[in-house]
Amino acid sequence: MSGEAERLNAIADAQPPFGQFMGMRVVEANPDRVVMEMPVRPDLANRNGVLHGGAILAMADNVAGTATFLNLAEGSSTTTIESKTNFLRAIAIGDVAKAVATPLHRGRTTMVWETKISGRDGRTAAIVIQTQLVMTKKPAASAPT
């Protein structure tokens, strides 16, 4: 495996504790597409007994953040600065939510991702458009000598 492939795998596998808590798992990851799955558990449901909209948005945020990280220069980081969600249908408890993030824009200072979330039936349950800020570390100024 090449050094770049190892780096991509490490980023994809190193999910934050929140994503792990939610049960998110990376299925596919490369700079052009990231796919995650998450079991729809009863503790992620809303009062109507389907996947909570907040859980859907959390999944979209995690997958788009992972996708952005796969496109960052070493030493850079990212944060979400905007997110818009259209909810189209429910995902039932016991199903598996699948999130697929693809880039709409990969710029020097921002990246924009479209994430489609569906259930096992493949029908789109939500579409999320999210903007990620690219943060680069500035070199430390050296002290005058």
Q: Where are the domains of the chain?
A: 3-135
Is domain 3-135 annotated with CATH 3.40.50.300?
no
Give me the pLDDT at residue 129, please. Answer: 98
Long-range contacts of 3-12 (CB under 8 A, 24+ apart): 8/70, 11/66, 11/69, 11/70, 12/66, 12/70
pLDDT tens for residues 20-63?
A: 999 999 999 999 999 999 999 999 999 999 999 999 999 999 99
Give me the pLDDT at residue 10, please. Answer: 72
Rounded to an integer, the average pLDDT of 101-116 is 98
What's the residue count for the chain?
A: 145
Q: Give the rounded percent of residues in the chain with a pLDDT score beyond 90.
A: 80
Residues 127 and 114: beta-carbon distance below 8 Å? yes
Residue with token string 């029908």: 123
pLDDT tier, 142 (very low <50, low <70, confident <90, very high otherwise): low
Q: Give the rounded percent of residues in the chain with a pLDDT score beyond 70.
A: 88
